[in-house]
């Protein structure tokens, strides 16, 4: 039995030594994709956004700020040495909801078949997005502490108007990327 195993091993080695040399195939993977995943270890699925635009934006007058109040203990109010007390302060946020149309390029490469071209497919989709714009307390009407000064809104209307104005600026900045 040992002689049979030895003979088989010698025969396999002889056959293997007589096979002609195969050409060396060098595979290069160049990836310019932002998202990539592997399905079965041999197939790679990647996608990249190639086009994006905003379908529609709301009007600034339609935006309603959400105001929150908070009581804070502040020291040295408006720079006065002995003025330290609880003060009701306000912040406001505006939610902007909009739709974005995206075109994605899906690239499927299969490493199991050498020299096979990748499969390319364009897919269009619409995505709901939102942006939260907050009031800037640096533009508040009251400050406390000495260095650095911290500013606060003391009225709900002041915080709401500041948030609405900042949302209006955001809308103007993004009006250029609205779909034609």
Q: What is the CA radius of gyration of the chain?
A: 33
Residue 10 lies in a domain: no
Closest residue by Cα to residue 140 from 167, 158, 160, 163 = 158
pLDDT at 32: 43
The more confidently predicted of residues 79 and 96 is 96
Residue 92 lies in a domain: yes
Mean pLDDT, all residues of the chain: 81
Residue 118 lies in a domain: yes
The more confidently predicted of residues 160 and 12 is 160
Residue 1 lies in a domain: no
Could you read off the pLDDT of 24-63 as tens digits, one per residue? 544 444 434 455 555 556 788 888 999 999 999 999 889 9
Domain count, the chain: 1
Tokens representing 43 are 């197939």
Residue 18 lies in a domain: no
Q: Residue 141 is part of which domain span?
A: 29-177
Could you read off the pLDDT of 132-156 as tens digits, one per residue? 999 999 999 999 987 788 999 999 9
Residue 6 lies in a domain: no
89 pLDDT tier (thresholds 50, 70, 90): very high
């Amino acid at each position: 039995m040992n002689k049979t195993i030895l003979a088989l091993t010698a025969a396999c080695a002889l056959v293997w030594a007589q096979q002609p040399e195969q050409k060396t195939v060098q595979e290069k993977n160049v990836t310019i994709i932002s998202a990539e995943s592997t399905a079965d270890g041999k197939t790679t699925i990647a996608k990249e956004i190639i086009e994006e635009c905003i379908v529609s934006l709301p009007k600034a007058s339609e935006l309603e700020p959400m105001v929150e109040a908070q009581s804070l203990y502040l020291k040295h109010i408006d720079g006065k040495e002995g003025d330290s007390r609880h003060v009701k302060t306000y912040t406001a946020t505006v939610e902007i909801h909009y739709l974005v149309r995206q075109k994605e390029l899906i690239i499927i490469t299969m490493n199991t078949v050498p020299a096979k071209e990748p499969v390319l497919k364009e897919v269009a989709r619409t995505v709901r997005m939102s942006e939260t714009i907050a009031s800037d307390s640096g533009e508040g009407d009251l400050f406390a502490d000495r260095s650095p000064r911290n500013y606060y809104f003391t009225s709900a209307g002041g915080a709401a108007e500041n948030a609405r104005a900042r949302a209006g600026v955001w809308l103007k900045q993004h009006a250029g990327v609205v779909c034609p």
